[in-house]
Chains A and B, each alone.
Chain A
């Protein structure tokens, strides 16, 4: 079948100015300059929106957007940031939500010539590699039982860059050699998705299958009908999310919407990172809830797991069952006492799945979040207000400052009270307890 080009003729908003341009094709960046010309003409329209285009914002940097107050202090701006975080937490549901925790992800990276665009500094390609690295580290931190594989889109083909693995170092190594990933040619969404799909076909039912695509191009060069591929993905319960760097394409939007994924177009460098990092927390098991009518959830299962004992490197050496190597350190299977080199793994002798319990425990804060603290507005109804923060013992200020910053959700006294143990905490501890510790020092649970 001859390669077929799918443009973005039916997409919306500002992309419409690029429609005819796609028909022209982008030869050696000649078309690109033209595109920018058109966008410049269209500048007024772009300005009307909240965010400027990335190339317009070349000289705005974060320090410009932070405003000093009359006293020349940055405190107001910083407090506003904290307040925003607090409001977001108050909106989040306090009860345990069901999330998919054993995740399998194929990260598809665009290696087509459009990635050499310099609209993001230094280039889209370098920025993507940098963010992909940070993404992988953070992803494994939050999904320690997950696995990531990497597929590239280059010269109309899907290229397997990294096999699916649970070891972050191996994934990072796969994208560490920049010269092997040099962009070129056209991307092919269909080829890449098919390759990703085939490498996830063997997975057990209770794990999630996800594809995350970083897409810089405005075209895709496919051998067949990409809508068939989309149908296959829906059938296989694969969730596709796309972060586009150029503009919205109808087919990308469809891929995400119909598979339950997220779609976003990056406006600038920071927004690109935000969009990518939004995909890190385990997705709420939405698709599962829909099957409520069925007697049992097909994707849920009870698994038997063993928690091993770790031997130190001073213990008497023995043969490991996985490589038959003589070594001192290792883990003992709790059921058959066989020695394995690394966890998580399946015991080669008795087949028990061996995980270290900290691996599981890393995800528990998603299940039991700390209730949001309430901002204390006045101390009138508190008989004996605590003089200092219950967490870090910093003294509270006595009264609200004269020019009180009364943005909503913030306490003028700098006090935040736990609804369960009724202890007061300072702003720093409020943020720290909810974002890092996930455990209230007053309640102790």
Chain B
């Protein structure tokens, strides 16, 4: 490990999901307390790996997102941490800063707010802004001789909430900007079903997506897979994703679809044939609508259609996009 590496961490702190995760009815429950203590151990080892390593921690709370800790701005200033002979001082500062701000935020949450959608997109875009500022020699950094640009920036997302399909477009936009900044996105899914969007994020940025089988063994996963920077990880065999789901969310109901109807002008996705595109107001030819309605795929369950009935060749031909061979549906 010769280069310094920057790690931005996004923690999904939805009270509802963490409550569900800590239920003892789960095979391997992981209460938030235990999660945080394992996480802090991981942060400490990241800082300890190399002196120049930097860390920024973002919390995604219901309806908002906050920078909890950043190793560049909090340069061991105000925090009057009680000196403890048994703890390395930077570790102590990191631990208490993160714990304090999480506690403050969670206590400030009103009961109603706790149900608001999680501010995951905000947290991811903020971490991108943060990395962007680190990478460009900014005009606003006043300190001369700012340390060399940390290479290998990466983002690690801890997710417990299910996908919000309304965040499909912003998450995709964040993925493309991460690609532009050469940022790797790693995802650690602790609880709940697989997240289609975060799978795509990890796949498209060359990171890994890990769905934990044993959430209580979190620290083991973290040190084995996410501690080494991406450069070194190529030499190790880090667990890879088996399947990647490239499904998208439709614009009309924000439903996740595997077969969609797409406007040729703006590429908006709809789950049903619609006469007018709601995004760009384009009217579609009636002939197309009749053809598509006649050849509708079987009513889609929200899960993946595992098997579908093979169709007759004539229908298949009509389905072929862009070739209005015959419209067996009309008249």
Contact = CB atoms under 8 A, between A and B. Distances in A.
Interface of A: 75, 78-79, 96, 98-102, 145, 204, 206-207, 285, 288, 295-312, 314-315, 331, 334-337, 346, 350-353, 356-358, 360-368, 389-395, 414, 426-429, 432-433, 436-442, 444-445
B260 interface: yes
Which of A295, A334, A394, A433 has its CB near the most chain B CB atoms (within 10 A)? Answer: A334
Contacts of A304: 259-262, 292, 295, 319, 321
A110 to B, nearest CB: 32
Contacts of B246: 307-310, 331, 356-358
Contacts of A391: 125-126, 129-130
Interface string B119-161: 1011001101110110010111000000000000000000000
A75 B173 contact: no
A336 B307 CA distance: 7
A438 B166 CA distance: 15
B272 to A, nearest CB: 10
Which of A358, A368, A441 has its CB near the most chain B CB atoms (within 10 A)? Answer: A441
Contacts of B177: 432, 436-438
B32 interface: no
B138 A445 contact: no
B264 A358 contact: no
Contacts of A314: 240, 242
A334 B73 CA distance: 48
Contacts of A75: 139
A408 B248 CA distance: 42
B128 to A, nearest CB: 6
B176 interface: yes
A306 to B, nearest CB: 5
Contact of B122 (A295, A305, A346, A441): A441
Interface in B256-304: 257-270, 273-274, 277, 279-286, 288-289, 292, 295, 297, 304
Given A295-B283, A309-B245, A428-B129, 20 more contacts: A98-B265, A98-B281, A101-B266, A300-B285, A302-B270, A302-B273, A302-B284, A304-B259, A305-B262, A307-B246, A310-B203, A335-B305, A351-B321, A364-B172, A395-B73, A427-B139, A428-B133, A429-B133, A437-B128, A444-B65
Interface stretch (B9-17, B23-31, B309-317): B309-317
Contacts of A335: 259, 297, 305, 308
A439 B284 contact: no
A296 B285 contact: yes
Contacts of B305: 334-335
B331 interface: no
Contacts of B263: 300, 302-303
B241 interface: yes
Nearest to A292: B283
Q: 7 closest Cβ contacts across the A-B interface?
A: A391-B129, A357-B248, A206-B264, A351-B320, A361-B172, A334-B258, A441-B125
B140 A393 contact: no
B288 A302 contact: yes
27 contacts: A101-B265, A101-B266, A101-B267, A204-B322, A297-B282, A302-B274, A305-B321, A306-B258, A306-B260, A307-B258, A310-B244, A310-B245, A312-B240, A312-B242, A357-B172, A361-B168, A367-B268, A392-B132, A393-B73, A394-B133, A428-B132, A432-B128, A432-B177, A438-B177, A444-B119, A444-B122, A444-B167
A394 B261 CA distance: 44
A436 B265 contact: no
Contacts of B284: 296-297, 300-302
A439 B240 contact: no
Contacts of B317: 351
